[in-house]
């Protein structure tokens, strides 16, 4: 996809009313330090549209990025490592669940998993939860550039078995550094 214009159009916090969009939405979920903002910036060929941070848990809202007035990339709050109170984490969970239930335009959910590590309990819970909400998540295995090429197949298998993925689930290795995987992600989005 050629990106002509992109803008952060809507930001929804815990008490916000979700927008009733008329364009397709593609959501991105993942742990607080998995590289979601870097992925979104990489997909849009921008350096700092989505804020990246060395402290996990920067995204505490649902952010709707309008792409070419044709679709939305939706950045969901990170889960897991964020240094916030349990009550706040539970509210984020309810916000994400409300979005998954209420969005009429959501076509796909991409779940980001750090390829270097076995999926955490939070990752497994999120994967099962997305399935339970009627979506088949597409897995993006981030931080690919941190592995040697020879290690990649073993780590992809670790992600596949760690999540106990449904047969046929796509797993796309991605590097924010080299942009490897970017074209495959856009090809999938274009199919939708």
Tens-place pLDDT, residues 109-161: 999 999 999 999 989 989 998 998 899 999 999 999 999 999 999 999 999 99
**Percent residues over pLDDT 90 in the chain:** 64
* CATH of segment(s) 20-189: 3.40.50.300
11: which DSSP letter? E
Query: Using CA atoms, how far apart are residues 190 and 184, in angstroms rounded to an integer?
Result: 10
Residues 181 and 175: beta-carbon distance below 8 Å: yes
Answer positive or negative: Cα dihedral of 23, 70, 110, 17.
Answer: negative
Separation of first and last alpha carbons in the chain: 13
Element (DSSP H or E) covering residue 109: strand 106-114
Whether 1 shows a pLDDT value over 90: the answer reads no
In the chain, domain spans: 20-189
* Residues whose CB is less than 8 angstroms from the CB of residue 38 and which lie 6 or more positions away in sequence, other chains included: 50, 52, 142, 176
Residue 16 confidence (pLDDT): 84
Name the pairing type of β-strands 71-75 and 171-173: unpaired
62: helix, strand or coil: strand
């Amino acid at each position: 996809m050629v990106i002509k214009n992109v803008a952060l159009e809507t930001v929804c916090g815990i008490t916000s009313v979700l927008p009733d969009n008329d364009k397709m939405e593609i959501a991105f979920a993942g742990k607080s330090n998995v590289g979601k903002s870097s992925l979104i910036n990489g997909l849009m060929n921008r350096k700092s549209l989505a804020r990246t941070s060395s402290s996990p848990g920067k995204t505490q809202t649902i952010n709707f990025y309008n792409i070419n007035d044709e679709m939305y990339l939706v950045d969901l709050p990170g889960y897991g490592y964020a240094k916030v109170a349990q009550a706040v984490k539970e509210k984020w969970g309810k916000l994400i669940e409300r979005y998954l239930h209420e969005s009429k335009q959501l076509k796909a959910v991409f779940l980001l998993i750090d390829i270097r590590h076995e999926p955490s309990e939070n990752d497994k819970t999120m994967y099962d939860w997305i399935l339970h909400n009627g979506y088949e998540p597409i897995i993006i295995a981030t931080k690919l550039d941190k592995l040697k090429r020879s290690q990649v197949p073993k780590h992809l298998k670790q992600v596949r078995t760690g999540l106990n993925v449904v047969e046929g689930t796509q797993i796309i290795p991605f590097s924010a550094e080299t942009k490897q995987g970017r074209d495959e992600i856009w090809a999938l989005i274009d199919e939708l």
